[in-house]
Amino acid sequence: MSNPRFMALEGVHNFRDFGGWTTPDGRSVKTGLLFRSGHLSRATDADQAKINALGLTTLADLRQPSERTREPNILPDPAPVNMFETAHGGHDEAPHLAFLREGNLSVKSVQDYMVSAYQRIPMEPHHQHIFAQVFKQLTHDEPVLIHCAAGKDRTGILAALILLAVGVTPDQAFEDYLLTNTAVDIDALLPSIAKRISEQTQQDVEPEALRPMLGVEADFLHAAFEVIGPLDAYFERALGVTDADRQALRDTLLVQ
């Protein structure tokens, strides 16, 4: 994981700056403002020191309440002024755990589930609401962290939308998304994750069946954008982000 975008942390996975990508007119997204990661519940003291140094003013937690209760964040100090959280789901089981509990898992069934999840996420009102909150905050030119559980699916969709909104090419937005596969040693994680999922779901889980759920695939993000449809319409109708808002984002987040 030698990519300079990544911050090497002990207890937080997939923490990285998703600025630095370029637009066709030669500008680039500012670095030091846009961060993405997995949850912060296992942040060590050393991790906290590194995260605190970023001066985050906004933290958007895309997890549902039951996930936040099970693995509460260890927040930066001082805590970000703006804390955005989803209210959907209450203490209901996370959708991926409900799926895994059904059993009969295979690589194909897990891939199919991931495609369906990516088609669901950007169309759900509670996700659209928090996405809109983040977009509004981005014009303040202050450091923002968006995260979910693993920092790859819900976070990956929102990060791609942000990059596309300011004019980064789709190829680069997908490149940023796929960096998750370099952040995580999937082979090393599979046995322990399978054991934990087995305990949580009371099902026998073959580690290899979980591989599509631990990484990311371009087909997953393509599935999200198939249901999102034309970006201009999605931004305005689903998120309330107008053309003028997007211009303000470009003025704030892009540099020559």
Q: Residues 27-63: pLDDT tens digits?
A: 999 999 999 999 999 999 999 999 999 999 999 999 9
Beta-sheet pairing, 16-17 with 34-37: antiparallel
Cis peptide upstream of residue 80 (ω within 30 degrees of 0): no
Q: Report, as an integer, the average pLDDT of 241-249.
A: 98
pLDDT tens by residue, 161-205: 999 999 999 999 999 999 999 998 899 989 999 998 888 888 888
Check residue 2 and give its pLDDT: 63
| Average confidence score pLDDT of the chain | 94
Average pLDDT over residues 15-35: 98
- pLDDT of res. 96: 83
Average pLDDT for residues 143-163, to the nearest whole number?
A: 98
Q: Domains of the chain by range and CATH?
A: 16-255 (3.90.190.10)
The SS3 assignment for 29 reads strand
Confidence at 91, pLDDT banded by 50, 70, 90: low
CA–CA dist 90, 250 (Å, integer):
36
Active-site residue flag, 252? no
Q: Which long-range contacts (CB under 8 A, 24 or more apart) does 243-250 make?
A: 245/135, 245/136, 245/139, 246/165, 246/166, 248/139, 249/135, 249/138, 249/139, 249/165, 249/166, 250/27, 250/166, 250/167
pLDDT at 89: 62
Residues counted in the chain: 256
pLDDT tens-digit readout, 213-232:
999 999 999 999 999 999 99
Tens digits of per-residue pLDDT, 93-136?
778 888 888 877 899 999 999 999 999 999 999 999 999 999 99
Distance CA 181, CA 32 (A): 22
Tokens of 97: 């755990």
Q: Could you tell me the pLDDT band of residue 159, with boundaries at 50, 70 and 90?
A: very high
**Residue 214 φ/ψ, nearest 5 degrees:** -90, -25
What local confidence, expressed as pLDDT, does residue 125 receive?
Answer: 95
Q: One of 7, 121, 134, 148 is an active-site residue; which one?
A: 148
Task: Tell me the pLDDT band of 88, cut-offs 50, 70 and 90.
Answer: confident
